[in-house]
Amino acid sequence: MVKGTTSSHGKLQVLYGPLHLPFAIYLIACFAFSMILLTKKLLRLTGIEKLQVRYLFAGVLTAAVGATISNLIIPLAFGTSEFSRYGPLFGIVMIAVIAHAIIRYRLMDIKVVIRKGVVYVCAILAAASILLVLAEVIKQLTGYEKDTIPLFESLMVALILAILFQPLKDSLQRSLNRYVYRETYDYQRTVREASRRLSAILDLESLLDYLVRAIENTFKVEAALVYLRDSTGKTFQLSVPSVEHRHAGPAATIPNNSPLVQLLEQSQRVLVREEAALDVQDPGQSRAAQELQSLGGDVAFPLLSDHRLVGILLVGPKRSGDPYFAQDIDLLETLISQGAVAMKNAQLYRQVVLVNEYVDNILSTMDSGVIAVNAAGNISLFNSAAERLTGLRAADLQTKPYQGLPSDLASPLKETLEAEKPRSQFETTVHGHDGSRVPVVCSTAILKHRDGSTHGALLVFSDLTRLKDLEREKRRAERLASFGALASGVAHEIKNPLVAIRTFAELLPERFADLDFREDFSKVVIREIARIDDLVGRLRGIAAAPQQTGEVDIRHPIAETMALLRAQLEHTRTTVHCTFDDSAPYVAVEEAQLKQLFLNLMLNAIEAMGPGGELTLRVARKEIHGSAWIVTEIADTGPGIPDSLKGSIFEPFFTTKPRGSGLGLAICRGITDAHRGSIRAENRMAGPGTVMVVEFRATAHVLVRAEEKLLTS
């Protein structure tokens, strides 16, 4: 690179060798590549980072250009190194520019370098002092000179110094940090402690208060304020002020259209006031920095939820006067991001609490009992109405199996949960532990997850006591009304034969000697008295009372009625079709009354059809409100019943026949009502005619009796 040197006119001249040119090319290439990297970063970065790179670029460029010209280009071009002594001066300029960036724009934390250097120098001096003390002690004890200590003793002294050096350095560092420098913080411990505490707090105000206190205690700041967007979305309200600003009266609101809010909403990243104030190219950042300063903050952090600004956390200047370095911003961002997640969890928890309170309020004010069980069959919900209707306490049943409920409620829950068969509007009776009986109407439902899997069952039941009382009152009122109509009809029906008897009785004294008159009188009296007796018998049928009876196969009275009407069916050429869809149609109704019921219905059908009609009987089982019922349908092909008359055909003495008494269907209605059944008239689906539908509740032991019949047959 250099062959040698000469002196010309008292000036040093360097004789360059063949490697000097390649070295110059290499050095210029390195500087050029460095400038390209710094230029790319300068174009890409913004804010304080751009300013830092700009000063670094200026310092390096000054040193590179100056040193290259003085030490490379001039010697190569003019063959003299006269100006080479000025090259190092450009390095001093570079150091000054970079030092300015370090001090003014935090290019690096120079205090860390100084502090660590001071600590190590102090530790080395302390170790050297310990070494001298140990050497003196050995000299006094053994008589060795300090420079003639044997190898073993020297190794022991070195080992002691090695063991003591690290604790000594740590102790010196803690002492100097506490007394000379600002107290540092443990990044990992701070994050770990904040994560643990923030994840355990579910109240929003307590969470924000802890976050503010953690920032104040960690960074020793003058202020920390939290602003949250209000319900209108137009302003940000001060939610948690700093401890030292709780009575200082900070700004209570920040408008939604303020420069600070708009900048944070657009950038969604931290805003450092000092960096934003220096960015003269963006007036929005300058205005936001001015507003941040007026609010007493040095740094503003956006609180985001689903990329939407929901709050702002302002951190004031440090009490030590130190700026916020990169590690400070990183730690603050970590704490605040965890705080934002915890805020969202707290808000969700608050919403869940409000929804639960709303649901509990609804359930507590409901008159219907509500019981819910989970997939394991344990009770998860038992409202106050359920407590009142069952006489049980929710506190005793929570998380307990549903088998502890009364069997009338546990049975449908079991069917719904295990067989996944919900039931709707079925009646049952709840037997309380105190022996009370409450009639209820129940419905069950299956509770499913979004994926369709079952996670429980629900039972809703309502007290029917008042409804049953009203039904009894209604029936009583209907009976009283019917009694009035019955009395009127009876008076009318009995009056006619009595008029005839009275007429003959009035003429009897005058025409007593007339033999023909006396014979006619006796015939009329016997006939009209028989007519009255028949009327009284029919009235007794209307007032038929239910009698204690066992289970009756409804097919037997139908068959006996058909046998009784066989001659009349043959005479009218009536075709009969019978269909029995149920193999065991047992009902708890007296067989004689069933015969009377079917006899009246079939006679009406035969008379309505006339010769050549078609009579169809069908017996089937049907689920009505969760209970099994035996349904008998008697269909004819007659002219049918007009809709205007359907509401009156079951009233006593209502008839459309020329010589009818109007008591047949009334007797049928009395029989069904007495046995908690029902009867109604419907039009045929195809063609003219009427279908009389009779329904009786099936007995509870139908299946058992059916099995017994199969075994004995």
pLDDT in tens, 70-115: 877 887 777 677 777 788 888 888 888 888 887 777 777 666 666 6
DSSP class of 581: -
Q: What are the angstrom distances between the C-alpha of 294 and each of 35, 237, 287, 309?
A: 40, 16, 11, 21
pLDDT averaged over every residue in the chain:
79
> Per-residue pLDDT averaged across 220-232, rounded?
85
Lowest-confidence segment of 145-149, 208-212, 337-341, 446-450 by average pLDDT: 145-149
Provide the 3-class DSSP secondary structure of residue 117. Answer: helix
Q: How much is the pLDDT for 618?
A: 92
Q: What does CATH list as the number for 469-542?
A: 1.10.287.130
Q: What is the pLDDT of residue 540?
A: 61
Residue 491 clears pLDDT 80, i.e. is over it:
no
CATH of region 366-463, choose from 3.30.450.20, 1.20.1250.20, 3.10.20.30, 3.90.650.10 = 3.30.450.20
Question: What is the pLDDT at residue 661?
Answer: 60
For residue 499, pLDDT beyond 80: no
372-422 tens-digit pLDDT: 998 888 888 888 888 888 888 888 888 888 888 888 888 888 888 888 888
Would the CATH topology of 187-351 be identical to that of 366-463? yes
Q: Which two tokens stand for residue 166?
A: 């690290």
Does residue 19 have a pLDDT over 60? yes
Question: Which of 160-174, 175-189, 471-485, 656-670 has the weakest average pLDDT?
Answer: 175-189
Predicted confidence (pLDDT) at residue 152 exceeds the cutoff of 90: no
What's the mean pLDDT in 254-273?
A: 88
The DSSP element (H or E) to which 118 belongs, if any, is: helix 110-142
- Sequence ranges of the domains in the chain: 2-108, 111-179, 187-351, 366-463, 469-542, 552-712
**Amino acid at residue number 455:** H
Rounded CA separation 690/606 (Å): 12
Comparing 73-77, 158-162, 411-415, 483-487, the range with the smallest average pLDDT is 483-487
This prediction has a pTM of: 0.43
Over range 317-327, report the average pLDDT.
78
pLDDT for residue 246: 46
Average pLDDT over residues 119-143: 78
In this predicted model, what pLDDT tens digit does every residue of 267-281 receive, in sequence order? 888 888 877 776 667
Phi, psi of 52 (to 5 degrees): -60, -50
Judge whether 625 and 677 are in contact, CB under 8 Å.
no
Amino acid at the residue 618: R
Distance CA 688, CA 703 (A): 37
Closest C-alpha to 311, from 206, 227, 202, 371 = 227
**pLDDT classification of 635: cutoffs 50, 70, 90:** very high
Which helix (H) or strand (E) segment is 281 a member of?
A: none
Q: pLDDT band at 234, cuts 50/70/90?
A: confident
Q: Region 48-54: what's the mean pLDDT?
A: 79
CATH 3.30.450.40 corresponds to the domain 187-351: yes
Assigned CATH class of 552-712: alpha beta
181 vs 346, more confident: 346
**Residue showing tokens 């700093």:** 242
pLDDT in tens, 347-360: 788 888 888 788 77
Number of other residues whose CB lies within 10 A of the CB of residue 187: 13
Confidence of residue 247 (pLDDT cuts 50, 70, 90): very low
Q: What is the mean pLDDT of residues 216-236?
A: 85
Looking at residue 707, its pLDDT comes to 44
Taking residues 246-269, what's their average pLDDT?
79
* DSSP β-bridge partners for residue 255: 235
**Is the model's pLDDT at 507 over the cut of 90?**
no
Structure tokens at 60: 């390096």
pLDDT digits (tens, 9 = 90+) for 422-443: 888 888 888 766 667 888 889 9
Query: What is residue 510's predicted lDDT score, i.e. its pLDDT?
Result: 78
pLDDT at 713: 42
Question: What percentage of the chain exceeds 90 in pLDDT?
Answer: 4
Q: Dihedral sign, CA of 504, 510, 516, 519?
A: positive
3-state secondary structure string, 381-418?
EECHHHHHHHCCCHHHHCCCEHHHCCHHHHHHHHHHHH
Q: Is residue 676 within 8 Å of 427, Cβ to Cβ?
A: no
